[in-house]
Amino acid sequence: MATPDLTAAASAVDTARAVVQSGVRALRDAGGADVAQVLAYDVAHAASAVETASGLLDYGAKGDVEARITCAFVAEVLGELAAKLWGREASWGVAAGVLDGADVRDFVAQWRDAETLAELGATDGPRHLDGDFELVQDTFRRFADEKLATVAEHIHRHNHDIPDDVISGLAEMGAFGLSIPEEYGGFGTGGESEYIGMVVATEELSRGSLGAGGSLITRPEILTRALLKGGTEEQKQRWLPRMAMGEILNAVAVTEPDYGSDVAGIKATATRTDGGWLVSGVKTWCTFAARAELLMLLVRTDPDRSKTHRGLSMFVVEKERGDGHGFVLDDGRGGRMEGRPIDTIGYRGMHSYEISFESWFVPEENLVGLDDGLGRGFYLQMAGFENGRLQTAARAVGVMQAAYEAAREYAANRVVFGSPIADYQLTQVKLARMAVTIQAARQFSYVVAQRMAKGEGTLEAAMVKAYVCKAAEWVTREAMQIHGGMGYAEEYDVSRYFVDARVLSIFEGADETLCLKVIARRLVEQLEPAPA
């Protein structure tokens, strides 16, 4: 069995980081991410993978299994980076063979070796959570096993609503108040424990069901952050305590049919009227809109479209509950709101809607920040979604973990040519790579949570989402493949994991936009100025 060498692993990470930095400089010299988009996308993903590997180094020092997982993952990252570079070194600004140094090549060769990975097998390693977070993990895992896993497949196949007992059960556990400060009836402390607790809880709920579990606590997270950033004290007192108790639930209405990640161009408007505003326009991909009693709505309050994002404001729109088949509501003043469900291949239970507003009245006091909030909607939305990226990564880890556990169990029991497929080297390597990827993603999410608790980590939050969500597609695909024909059958949960994972790189910031507009741009901004 190979002997792990964390010094060599750290050196390989340094080498990879230097290559990425060269790529960032080349990107700047090529005119930036808007010009050299392919380079920007590849550099952003490479940087995200390298930072994930770097975040695993401390984990590797905690034991032999941890060290093996770390070495295997670092080698995987170097191999993927080499594939991005080969034949394109000039565009990255590096010499051919930049990764061919004997120390790096020998390290990668050893830890990408099939026998070495097969020896790792289905070893996913300990998480190293402290006692409080282990309790959080156990509590939410038990709920996921007993309440979510038993109904998840039924919800998925029949596109049903999330059962009320799931929502009430999460409310009783305080799941909707994890990020709401204690002074508003929640459990948020503003410190590291709040962020780590949210990540742990989200992973476990998503392991039970992405659509009926992990994503349920994302929406209050987003609205809470926005209200804390720009809401008045009266608004915080009005909504946050009831949200923390699960008495009212919310949805997010930002995206429009023609404007997704480029929200600065949205067209839905709010115009002043006696006592408030009249909202007109269309929002789409508004998840959970029927069941929610509140909508976090981003609209244009300044008719001058040249002001782009500076003309946007945020409202909290109160509404009656609807159901998964759609809804039509009136405001009693001639205004109308209609929600049309959008059928999707996965991520069912919450349902996504296209919502049309026709002169829908919103009281003056529902403008977040009141007059001080005019024109600040874009920034409040960004504050809400910033932590949503970390939470989405945690959701991806949960889906991956569920898929991995299903594949491991199936491989142990499925006999082909006289032996369980878990005995075959190819299956062992697949499971090892899956386990290594999941643990790396999980540990990096912990690192990012710690940084965000200090008011840092915005770039890393984008990176962890970019890397982990794309990895989830591969992990769930491999888990499905291990199941063979049964992986394609709806009677096995693994098919649901596969279609659920596909949405992760789309929502909360599409992968391409996240890489080009956030990660690559920030990496270039962090460079020292080019010499005159």
Each residue of 38-82: pLDDT tens digit? 999 999 999 999 999 999 999 999 999 999 999 999 999 999 999
- The pLDDT of residue 406: 96
**How is residue 42 written in tokens?**
């590849």
478 is catalytic: no
Is 285 in a helix, a strand, or coil?
strand
Compute φ and ψ for 516, nearest 5 degrees.
Answer: -80, -45
pLDDT higher than threshold 60 for residue 532? no
Parallel, antiparallel, or unpaired for β 294-300 and 250-253?
A: parallel
**How many degrees, rounded to 5, is the angle at CA 476 between CA 473 and CA 482?**
135
Each residue of 506-522: pLDDT tens digit? 887 789 999 999 999 99
Are the CB atoms for 393 and 451 separated by under 8 Å?
Answer: no
pLDDT interval class at 385 (50, 70, 90):
confident
Instruction: Give the C-alpha separation, 191 to 421, whole Å.
Output: 45
pLDDT higher than threshold 90 for residue 383? no
Each residue of 292-314: pLDDT tens digit? 999 999 999 998 888 888 999 99
Average pLDDT on 374-385 reads 90
- The pLDDT of residue 161: 87
For residue 501, the surrounding DSSP H or E stretch is helix 494-501
Which of 508, 512, 525, 528 is catalytic? The answer is: 508
Are the CB atoms for 52 and 470 separated by under 8 Å?
Answer: no
CATH number of the domain located at residue range(s) 250-371 in this protein = 2.40.110.10
Q: What is the DSSP letter of 323?
A: B
Mean pLDDT, rounded, of the chain = 93
- Of the chain, the percentage scoring pLDDT greater than 90 comes to 77
Each residue of 435-493: pLDDT tens digit? 999 999 999 999 999 999 898 888 999 999 999 999 999 999 999 999 999 999 888 99
CB atoms within 10 A of CB 95: 10
SS (HEC) of 227-259: HHHHCCHHHHHHHHHHHHCCCCCEEEECCECCE
- The pLDDT of residue 387: 82
Of the candidate ranges 19-28, 357-366, 446-455, the one whose mean pLDDT is the lowest = 446-455
pLDDT higher than threshold 70 for residue 261? no
Average pLDDT on 376-393 reads 88
Q: Which residues contact 422 (CB under 8 A, 6 or more apart)?
A: 122, 408, 411, 412, 428, 431
Each residue of 449-459: pLDDT tens digit? 999 989 888 89
Each residue of 322-332: pLDDT tens digit? 877 889 999 99
The structural domains of the chain, with segments of one domain joined by +, span: 1-120+422-447+456-471+510-532, 250-371
